[in-house]
Structure 1
Amino acid sequence: MDISQAGSQRKLQLQELEEIRLEAYENSRIYKAKTKVAHDKLIMRKEFQVGQKVLLYNSRLKLMPVEIKDESNAKQFTVNGHRLKPFHEDFQEHIMEELHLLNATSI
């Protein structure tokens, strides 16, 4: 095998490697797009009305800004909409019945 033939063989191998890399990149892009669509279908959209009470939990994200007002001091501030959960004033606690199970060995 002479040097020119080995050089052309090496060039062909590099081109094939580049094609494999581009195909892997494209497959990764398609997978990410499909995963995003599936994930977005599972996300529940939250809709709040003006004057509705909400619960606010700690988070540092600022993805979907929503302006809310604190009833205690009338202070207004902007928070991430994903940090809010509806507040149910009419929620009633249910009484749970407690049952004691016996050991299987004592039967």
Structure 2
Amino acid sequence: MNAYESSRIYKQRVKAYHDKKLLKKDFQPGQQVFLFNSRLKLFLGKLKSKWSRPFTIKEVKPHGAVEVMDPESTTLERKWIVNGQRLKLYHGGNIERLTTILHLQDP
């Protein structure tokens, strides 16, 4: 019984420690955010970025849901409702994508 009790106490302490390290994300309408693309499995690669271009927050709904829209779409307004955990705040600046082509030759 002592082993079960000490295991329960240990789990409570570890959970409290990890919960203390979590940061609350507070989004406001008009902010720009990156969207985490977890469903893109077409191009496998360790160095490929999984964060999509900056989107603008249109509305913050209760329980962490956020409505984002694509500012670059000109024909029609594209908007999605996503989980706030899939967003990361965009602080501005240019997004630079580096591509390198290496031509290999047989020796």
Deviation track 1:44-98 (CA, whole Å, cap 9, x = no partner) reads 22111011110011236xx943332222242222222122111122x37xxxxxx
CA distance, structure 2, for counterparts of residue 67 and residue 26 of structure 1 = 44
CA distance, structure 1, for counterparts of residue 37 and residue 23 of structure 2 = 19
SS in 2 for 1:66: strand
Larger radius of gyration: 1
TM-score by length of structure 1 reads: 0.51
CA distance, structure 2, for counterparts of residue 32 and residue 78 of structure 1 = 34
CA distance, structure 1, for counterparts of residue 79 and residue 27 of structure 2 = 16
Letter in 2 for 1:70: D
* Pairs aligned (count): 69
TM-score by length of structure 2 reads: 0.51
Greater fraction helix: 1
- Of all paired residues, the percent bearing the same amino acid is 49
Deviation at 1:32, TM superposition (A): 1.0
Paired position in structure 2 for 1:49: 28
Bigger CA drift: 66-75 or 46-55? 66-75
CA distance, structure 1, for counterparts of residue 33 and residue 17 of structure 2 = 28
RMSD of aligned residue pairs (Cα, Å): 2.6
SS in 1 for 2:67: strand
If asked which structure has higher relative contact order (CA below 8 Å, sep 6+), I would say 2
Paired position in structure 2 for 1:34: 13
Where structure 1 has 5 or more consecutive residues not aligned to the other structure, the ranges are: 1-21, 93-107
CA distance, structure 2, for counterparts of residue 27 and residue 77 of structure 1 = 46
Letter in 2 for 1:38: Y
Where structure 2 has 5 or more consecutive residues not aligned to the other structure, the ranges are: 40-62, 95-107
